[in-house]
Structure 1
Amino acid sequence: MCGRYYMDIDDKEIKKIADEAENIIYPEYKNGEIFPSNVAPILIHDREDTRPILAKWGFPKWDGKGIIINARMESVHERQMFKNLASTNRCIVPASYYFEWKNEKTFKTKYMIKNPDSILYMAGLYSVVRHKDRQLSLFDDNDTDIYYTIITKNAHPSLNYIHSRMPLIFDKQYVDDYLSGKNIKELLETVKDNYVSAAVK
Protein backbone atom coordinates (compact mmCIF):
# COMPACT_ATOMS: atom_id res chain seq x y z
CA MET A 1 0.00 0.00 0.00
CA CYS A 2 1.19 3.51 -0.73
CA GLY A 3 -1.25 6.30 0.04
CA ARG A 4 1.08 9.25 0.42
CA TYR A 5 4.63 10.17 -0.50
CA TYR A 6 6.95 13.17 -0.27
CA MET A 7 8.93 15.15 -2.85
CA ASP A 8 11.69 17.26 -1.30
CA ILE A 9 12.27 19.90 -3.95
CA ASP A 10 15.59 20.78 -2.27
CA ASP A 11 16.94 17.38 -3.25
CA LYS A 12 19.03 17.84 -6.44
CA GLU A 13 17.73 14.70 -8.18
CA ILE A 14 14.09 15.45 -7.38
CA LYS A 15 14.48 19.08 -8.48
CA LYS A 16 16.14 18.05 -11.76
CA ILE A 17 13.27 15.69 -12.58
CA ALA A 18 10.64 18.26 -11.62
CA ASP A 19 12.32 21.08 -13.57
CA GLU A 20 12.59 18.94 -16.70
CA ALA A 21 9.03 17.59 -16.54
CA GLU A 22 7.16 18.57 -19.69
CA ASN A 23 4.11 20.66 -18.87
CA ILE A 24 2.13 19.14 -21.75
CA ILE A 25 -1.20 19.36 -19.96
CA TYR A 26 -0.76 20.56 -16.39
CA PRO A 27 0.91 23.92 -15.82
CA GLU A 28 1.77 23.22 -12.18
CA TYR A 29 2.75 20.29 -10.01
CA LYS A 30 2.63 19.56 -6.29
CA ASN A 31 5.74 19.13 -4.18
CA GLY A 32 6.11 18.35 -0.51
CA GLU A 33 3.58 15.75 0.64
CA ILE A 34 1.82 14.25 -2.38
CA PHE A 35 -1.80 13.16 -1.97
CA PRO A 36 -3.95 11.05 -4.32
CA SER A 37 -5.33 13.16 -7.21
CA ASN A 38 -2.38 15.60 -6.99
CA VAL A 39 -0.34 16.38 -10.12
CA ALA A 40 3.31 15.33 -9.82
CA PRO A 41 6.25 14.36 -12.07
CA ILE A 42 6.67 10.80 -13.35
CA LEU A 43 9.27 9.26 -15.66
CA ILE A 44 8.19 7.49 -18.85
CA HIS A 45 9.96 5.83 -21.78
CA ASP A 46 9.04 7.51 -25.05
CA ARG A 47 10.69 7.61 -28.46
CA GLU A 48 13.66 5.56 -27.22
CA ASP A 49 14.27 8.02 -24.40
CA THR A 50 13.37 8.38 -20.73
CA ARG A 51 11.76 11.70 -19.89
CA PRO A 52 9.70 13.27 -17.09
CA ILE A 53 6.13 14.47 -17.58
CA LEU A 54 3.39 15.64 -15.23
CA ALA A 55 0.45 13.36 -14.39
CA LYS A 56 -2.36 12.92 -11.83
CA TRP A 57 -2.05 10.26 -9.16
CA GLY A 58 -4.92 7.78 -9.33
CA PHE A 59 -6.79 6.00 -12.14
CA PRO A 60 -10.48 6.98 -12.24
CA LYS A 61 -12.78 4.08 -11.39
CA TRP A 62 -15.06 2.88 -14.17
CA ASP A 63 -18.13 4.29 -12.39
CA GLY A 64 -16.50 7.67 -11.80
CA LYS A 65 -16.65 7.25 -8.04
CA GLY A 66 -13.17 7.47 -6.57
CA ILE A 67 -9.73 6.61 -7.88
CA ILE A 68 -7.33 3.66 -7.78
CA ILE A 69 -3.92 4.73 -6.50
CA ASN A 70 -2.17 1.32 -6.28
CA ALA A 71 -1.85 -1.76 -8.47
CA ARG A 72 -0.76 -5.10 -7.02
CA MET A 73 2.35 -6.42 -8.74
CA GLU A 74 0.98 -9.96 -8.61
CA SER A 75 -2.07 -9.10 -10.73
CA VAL A 76 -1.08 -6.25 -13.07
CA HIS A 77 -1.02 -8.63 -16.04
CA GLU A 78 -4.48 -9.98 -15.16
CA ARG A 79 -6.70 -7.10 -14.05
CA GLN A 80 -8.63 -5.50 -16.89
CA MET A 81 -7.65 -1.97 -15.86
CA PHE A 82 -3.91 -2.70 -15.90
CA LYS A 83 -3.10 -5.63 -18.18
CA ASN A 84 -2.93 -3.61 -21.41
CA LEU A 85 -0.64 -1.06 -19.73
CA ALA A 86 1.72 -3.42 -17.90
CA SER A 87 4.08 -3.83 -20.85
CA THR A 88 3.70 -0.57 -22.77
CA ASN A 89 2.74 2.18 -20.28
CA ARG A 90 5.15 1.85 -17.43
CA CYS A 91 6.31 4.78 -15.37
CA ILE A 92 8.57 5.57 -12.43
CA VAL A 93 7.31 7.77 -9.62
CA PRO A 94 10.23 9.62 -7.98
CA ALA A 95 9.99 10.37 -4.28
CA SER A 96 12.20 11.40 -1.40
CA TYR A 97 10.31 8.96 0.81
CA TYR A 98 6.85 7.52 1.27
CA PHE A 99 4.46 7.26 4.20
CA GLU A 100 2.72 4.26 5.70
CA TRP A 101 0.37 3.90 8.63
CA LYS A 102 0.62 1.19 11.27
CA ASN A 103 -2.64 0.16 12.90
CA GLU A 104 -2.32 0.25 16.66
CA LYS A 105 -5.10 -0.81 19.06
CA THR A 106 -6.88 2.54 19.17
CA PHE A 107 -4.97 4.72 16.69
CA LYS A 108 -2.70 4.73 13.67
CA THR A 109 0.98 5.68 13.67
CA LYS A 110 2.37 7.41 10.58
CA TYR A 111 5.82 6.25 9.42
CA MET A 112 8.26 7.81 6.98
CA ILE A 113 10.14 5.19 4.94
CA LYS A 114 13.18 6.01 2.82
CA ASN A 115 16.40 4.73 1.33
CA PRO A 116 19.25 6.50 3.16
CA ASP A 117 21.43 6.34 0.05
CA SER A 118 19.05 7.43 -2.71
CA ILE A 119 15.70 8.90 -3.65
CA LEU A 120 13.00 6.31 -4.32
CA TYR A 121 12.20 5.17 -7.86
CA MET A 122 8.74 3.65 -7.39
CA ALA A 123 7.36 1.51 -10.22
CA GLY A 124 4.01 2.48 -11.68
CA LEU A 125 1.71 2.46 -14.69
CA TYR A 126 0.27 5.44 -16.54
CA SER A 127 -2.74 5.96 -18.77
CA VAL A 128 -3.59 8.69 -21.28
CA VAL A 129 -7.34 9.29 -21.17
CA ARG A 130 -9.00 11.21 -23.98
CA HIS A 131 -12.41 12.44 -22.93
CA LYS A 132 -15.13 11.54 -25.41
CA ASP A 133 -17.04 14.76 -24.84
CA ARG A 134 -14.10 16.84 -26.04
CA GLN A 135 -12.27 17.24 -29.33
CA LEU A 136 -9.71 14.44 -29.71
CA SER A 137 -6.05 15.38 -29.99
CA LEU A 138 -3.19 13.77 -28.10
CA PHE A 139 -1.86 15.80 -25.18
CA ASP A 140 -4.28 18.68 -25.72
CA ASP A 141 -5.15 20.30 -22.41
CA ASN A 142 -8.80 20.57 -23.45
CA ASP A 143 -9.45 16.87 -23.98
CA THR A 144 -6.78 14.73 -22.31
CA ASP A 145 -5.65 13.68 -18.85
CA ILE A 146 -2.66 11.55 -17.85
CA TYR A 147 -3.06 9.38 -14.75
CA TYR A 148 -0.65 7.11 -12.88
CA THR A 149 -0.83 4.44 -10.22
CA ILE A 150 1.93 2.99 -8.03
CA ILE A 151 2.69 -0.75 -8.11
CA THR A 152 2.93 -2.50 -4.74
CA LYS A 153 4.43 -5.78 -3.57
CA ASN A 154 4.71 -7.73 -0.34
CA ALA A 155 6.60 -5.65 2.21
CA HIS A 156 10.21 -6.41 3.01
CA PRO A 157 10.60 -8.21 6.37
CA SER A 158 12.17 -5.09 7.85
CA LEU A 159 8.97 -3.13 7.11
CA ASN A 160 6.09 -5.59 7.44
CA TYR A 161 5.65 -4.70 11.10
CA ILE A 162 4.22 -1.43 9.74
CA HIS A 163 2.20 -2.73 6.79
CA SER A 164 2.02 -5.90 4.70
CA ARG A 165 2.47 -4.03 1.39
CA MET A 166 4.98 -1.51 0.05
CA PRO A 167 5.79 0.14 -3.30
CA LEU A 168 7.87 -1.77 -5.82
CA ILE A 169 11.09 0.26 -5.83
CA PHE A 170 14.09 -0.08 -8.15
CA ASP A 171 17.63 1.23 -7.90
CA LYS A 172 18.33 4.05 -10.36
CA GLN A 173 20.45 1.80 -12.58
CA TYR A 174 17.42 -0.41 -13.34
CA VAL A 175 14.92 2.35 -14.08
CA ASP A 176 15.43 2.17 -17.86
CA ASP A 177 15.16 -1.63 -17.78
CA TYR A 178 11.78 -1.38 -16.09
CA LEU A 179 10.49 1.41 -18.32
CA SER A 180 11.56 -0.34 -21.52
CA GLY A 181 9.54 -3.45 -20.66
CA LYS A 182 11.91 -5.94 -19.05
CA ASN A 183 10.19 -8.79 -17.20
CA ILE A 184 9.17 -7.60 -13.73
CA LYS A 185 9.89 -10.96 -12.08
CA GLU A 186 13.44 -10.86 -13.42
CA LEU A 187 13.88 -7.30 -12.20
CA LEU A 188 12.72 -8.34 -8.73
CA GLU A 189 16.07 -10.08 -8.33
CA THR A 190 17.75 -6.66 -8.45
CA VAL A 191 15.64 -5.16 -5.64
CA LYS A 192 17.75 -4.60 -2.52
CA ASP A 193 15.12 -3.10 -0.21
CA ASN A 194 17.55 -0.94 1.76
CA TYR A 195 15.22 1.19 3.89
CA VAL A 196 14.97 2.98 7.19
CA SER A 197 11.72 3.96 8.88
CA ALA A 198 10.75 6.44 11.54
CA ALA A 199 7.47 7.44 13.17
CA VAL A 200 6.38 10.99 12.34
CA LYS A 201 3.68 13.28 13.66
Structure 2
Amino acid sequence: MEFSWLPVQLSVFVSLVATCITCILCVFVSYWMVRKSFRGKSIIETIFFLPLVLPPSVIGFLLIIIFGNNSPVGQAIQAITGRSVIFTVSAAVIAATVVAFPLMYQSIKTGFQSVDLNIIGAAKVDGAGNWRILWKIIIPVSSRAIIAGVILSFTRAFGEFGATLMFAGNIPGQTQTIPTAIYLGIESGQTQIAWYYVLISVTFAFILLFSINRK
Protein backbone atom coordinates (compact mmCIF):
# COMPACT_ATOMS: atom_id res chain seq x y z
CA MET A 1 0.00 0.00 0.00
CA GLU A 2 1.36 3.41 -1.00
CA PHE A 3 0.16 6.86 -0.05
CA SER A 4 -2.22 8.32 -2.63
CA TRP A 5 -4.24 11.51 -2.82
CA LEU A 6 -7.13 9.65 -4.46
CA PRO A 7 -8.83 8.77 -1.13
CA VAL A 8 -8.58 12.42 -0.11
CA GLN A 9 -10.06 13.60 -3.40
CA LEU A 10 -12.84 11.02 -3.24
CA SER A 11 -13.64 11.90 0.39
CA VAL A 12 -13.96 15.58 -0.52
CA PHE A 13 -16.09 14.79 -3.58
CA VAL A 14 -18.40 12.41 -1.69
CA SER A 15 -18.75 14.85 1.20
CA LEU A 16 -19.55 17.78 -1.09
CA VAL A 17 -22.22 15.87 -3.01
CA ALA A 18 -23.73 14.39 0.15
CA THR A 19 -23.78 17.81 1.84
CA CYS A 20 -25.52 19.42 -1.15
CA ILE A 21 -28.15 16.68 -1.19
CA THR A 22 -28.79 16.84 2.55
CA CYS A 23 -28.96 20.64 2.53
CA ILE A 24 -31.59 20.72 -0.21
CA LEU A 25 -33.60 17.91 1.38
CA CYS A 26 -33.44 19.35 4.88
CA VAL A 27 -34.50 22.85 3.83
CA PHE A 28 -37.77 21.52 2.45
CA VAL A 29 -38.27 18.80 5.07
CA SER A 30 -37.52 21.18 7.97
CA TYR A 31 -39.85 23.85 6.57
CA TRP A 32 -42.63 21.29 6.24
CA MET A 33 -42.05 19.80 9.70
CA VAL A 34 -41.95 23.23 11.38
CA ARG A 35 -45.16 24.40 9.68
CA LYS A 36 -47.19 21.22 10.05
CA SER A 37 -48.59 19.50 13.10
CA PHE A 38 -49.91 15.99 12.55
CA ARG A 39 -50.21 12.62 14.21
CA GLY A 40 -47.05 10.58 13.92
CA LYS A 41 -44.76 13.60 13.59
CA SER A 42 -42.61 12.47 16.51
CA ILE A 43 -42.23 9.03 14.92
CA ILE A 44 -41.00 10.55 11.65
CA GLU A 45 -38.49 12.76 13.49
CA THR A 46 -37.28 9.76 15.47
CA ILE A 47 -36.60 7.95 12.19
CA PHE A 48 -34.69 11.01 10.96
CA PHE A 49 -32.37 10.82 13.98
CA LEU A 50 -31.81 7.05 13.94
CA PRO A 51 -28.55 7.29 11.91
CA LEU A 52 -27.02 9.18 14.84
CA VAL A 53 -27.44 6.27 17.23
CA LEU A 54 -27.54 3.15 15.06
CA PRO A 55 -24.29 1.18 14.63
CA PRO A 56 -22.71 1.93 11.24
CA SER A 57 -22.92 -1.76 10.37
CA VAL A 58 -26.70 -1.62 10.80
CA ILE A 59 -26.94 1.38 8.48
CA GLY A 60 -24.75 -0.37 5.93
CA PHE A 61 -26.84 -3.52 6.19
CA LEU A 62 -30.10 -1.61 5.69
CA LEU A 63 -28.67 0.22 2.68
CA ILE A 64 -27.66 -3.10 1.13
CA ILE A 65 -31.19 -4.42 1.71
CA ILE A 66 -32.80 -1.30 0.23
CA PHE A 67 -30.48 -0.90 -2.76
CA GLY A 68 -29.45 -4.53 -3.25
CA ASN A 69 -29.98 -6.41 -6.49
CA ASN A 70 -32.97 -8.27 -5.05
CA SER A 71 -34.83 -5.15 -3.91
CA PRO A 72 -37.30 -3.19 -6.08
CA VAL A 73 -35.15 -0.06 -5.72
CA GLY A 74 -31.97 -1.89 -6.64
CA GLN A 75 -33.59 -3.58 -9.62
CA ALA A 76 -34.98 -0.25 -10.85
CA ILE A 77 -31.55 1.38 -10.61
CA GLN A 78 -29.95 -1.56 -12.40
CA ALA A 79 -32.57 -1.40 -15.16
CA ILE A 80 -31.93 2.32 -15.69
CA THR A 81 -28.15 2.45 -15.31
CA GLY A 82 -27.24 -1.10 -16.27
CA ARG A 83 -25.29 -1.75 -13.08
CA SER A 84 -25.75 -2.17 -9.34
CA VAL A 85 -25.22 0.82 -7.08
CA ILE A 86 -23.38 -1.31 -4.48
CA PHE A 87 -19.57 -0.91 -4.42
CA THR A 88 -19.67 2.35 -6.39
CA VAL A 89 -19.01 6.01 -5.63
CA SER A 90 -22.77 6.51 -5.66
CA ALA A 91 -23.02 4.06 -2.77
CA ALA A 92 -20.47 6.10 -0.82
CA VAL A 93 -22.53 9.26 -1.49
CA ILE A 94 -25.73 7.56 -0.32
CA ALA A 95 -24.08 6.31 2.87
CA ALA A 96 -22.61 9.74 3.60
CA THR A 97 -25.96 11.41 2.94
CA VAL A 98 -27.78 9.12 5.35
CA VAL A 99 -25.37 9.70 8.25
CA ALA A 100 -25.12 13.46 7.61
CA PHE A 101 -28.87 14.04 7.32
CA PRO A 102 -29.70 14.21 11.09
CA LEU A 103 -27.10 16.92 11.80
CA MET A 104 -28.27 19.04 8.89
CA TYR A 105 -31.93 18.55 9.76
CA GLN A 106 -31.52 19.49 13.42
CA SER A 107 -29.47 22.59 12.62
CA ILE A 108 -31.81 23.90 9.90
CA LYS A 109 -34.92 23.09 11.92
CA THR A 110 -33.54 25.00 14.91
CA GLY A 111 -32.78 27.95 12.65
CA PHE A 112 -36.27 27.94 11.15
CA GLN A 113 -37.89 27.76 14.60
CA SER A 114 -35.91 30.82 15.74
CA VAL A 115 -37.45 33.06 13.09
CA ASP A 116 -39.77 35.65 14.62
CA LEU A 117 -43.37 34.68 13.84
CA ASN A 118 -44.34 38.37 13.75
CA ILE A 119 -42.11 38.85 10.71
CA ILE A 120 -43.73 35.90 8.97
CA GLY A 121 -47.19 37.18 9.90
CA ALA A 122 -46.42 40.62 8.52
CA ALA A 123 -45.17 39.09 5.28
CA LYS A 124 -48.38 37.09 4.92
CA VAL A 125 -50.43 40.25 5.49
CA ASP A 126 -48.49 41.86 2.64
CA GLY A 127 -49.50 38.95 0.40
CA ALA A 128 -46.34 36.86 0.44
CA GLY A 129 -46.87 33.15 -0.23
CA ASN A 130 -45.26 30.30 1.69
CA TRP A 131 -42.45 29.76 -0.81
CA ARG A 132 -41.64 33.46 -1.02
CA ILE A 133 -41.52 33.62 2.77
CA LEU A 134 -39.17 30.63 2.80
CA TRP A 135 -36.72 32.06 0.25
CA LYS A 136 -36.89 35.74 1.17
CA ILE A 137 -37.27 35.63 4.95
CA ILE A 138 -36.76 32.27 6.68
CA ILE A 139 -33.63 31.13 4.85
CA PRO A 140 -31.79 34.50 5.09
CA VAL A 141 -32.64 34.85 8.80
CA SER A 142 -31.57 31.25 9.44
CA SER A 143 -28.37 31.53 7.39
CA ARG A 144 -26.02 31.02 10.37
CA ALA A 145 -27.82 27.84 11.40
CA ILE A 146 -27.80 26.58 7.82
CA ILE A 147 -24.07 27.25 7.47
CA ALA A 148 -23.42 25.44 10.76
CA GLY A 149 -25.47 22.49 9.50
CA VAL A 150 -23.53 22.43 6.24
CA ILE A 151 -20.17 22.37 8.04
CA LEU A 152 -21.24 19.72 10.56
CA SER A 153 -22.78 17.54 7.86
CA PHE A 154 -19.73 17.86 5.62
CA THR A 155 -17.45 16.90 8.51
CA ARG A 156 -19.66 13.92 9.38
CA ALA A 157 -19.78 12.76 5.76
CA PHE A 158 -16.01 13.22 5.45
CA GLY A 159 -15.42 10.89 8.38
CA GLU A 160 -18.01 8.23 7.54
CA PHE A 161 -16.53 4.73 7.70
CA GLY A 162 -18.72 1.80 8.75
CA ALA A 163 -21.68 2.17 6.42
CA THR A 164 -19.37 3.16 3.56
CA LEU A 165 -17.17 0.10 4.07
CA MET A 166 -20.17 -2.24 3.95
CA PHE A 167 -22.12 -0.52 1.19
CA ALA A 168 -19.44 0.99 -1.06
CA GLY A 169 -16.50 -1.25 -0.18
CA ASN A 170 -12.84 -0.34 0.03
CA ILE A 171 -11.63 -0.55 -3.55
CA PRO A 172 -8.37 1.44 -4.02
CA GLY A 173 -8.74 4.09 -6.70
CA GLN A 174 -12.51 3.58 -6.92
CA THR A 175 -14.37 3.67 -3.61
CA GLN A 176 -11.57 4.05 -1.08
CA THR A 177 -12.05 7.12 1.11
CA ILE A 178 -9.80 8.44 3.88
CA PRO A 179 -11.44 6.39 6.69
CA THR A 180 -11.27 3.15 4.71
CA ALA A 181 -7.68 3.95 3.64
CA ILE A 182 -6.76 4.34 7.33
CA TYR A 183 -8.39 1.00 8.06
CA LEU A 184 -6.49 -0.70 5.25
CA GLY A 185 -3.23 0.94 6.32
CA ILE A 186 -3.57 -0.41 9.86
CA GLU A 187 -4.67 -3.85 8.67
CA SER A 188 -1.71 -4.11 6.30
CA GLY A 189 0.80 -2.85 8.85
CA GLN A 190 1.39 0.44 6.98
CA THR A 191 1.05 2.58 10.10
CA GLN A 192 2.98 5.51 8.65
CA ILE A 193 0.64 5.81 5.69
CA ALA A 194 -2.34 5.52 8.03
CA TRP A 195 -0.86 8.41 10.03
CA TYR A 196 -0.73 10.60 6.92
CA TYR A 197 -4.45 10.10 6.34
CA VAL A 198 -5.21 10.59 10.03
CA LEU A 199 -3.38 13.92 10.08
CA ILE A 200 -5.19 15.08 6.93
CA SER A 201 -8.54 14.08 8.42
CA VAL A 202 -7.90 15.69 11.82
CA THR A 203 -6.60 18.90 10.23
CA PHE A 204 -9.56 19.14 7.89
CA ALA A 205 -12.09 18.51 10.66
CA PHE A 206 -10.37 20.96 13.03
CA ILE A 207 -10.44 23.77 10.47
CA LEU A 208 -14.10 23.22 9.69
CA LEU A 209 -15.20 23.01 13.33
CA PHE A 210 -13.04 25.99 14.27
CA SER A 211 -14.83 28.04 11.62
CA ILE A 212 -18.10 27.39 13.51
CA ASN A 213 -16.76 28.08 17.02
CA ARG A 214 -14.68 31.17 16.36
CA LYS A 215 -16.22 34.43 17.50
TM-score interval (norm. to shorter):
under 0.3
Relative contact order, CA 8 A, sep 6+: which one is greater?
2
Larger radius of gyration: 2
TM-score (ref. length: structure 2): 0.25
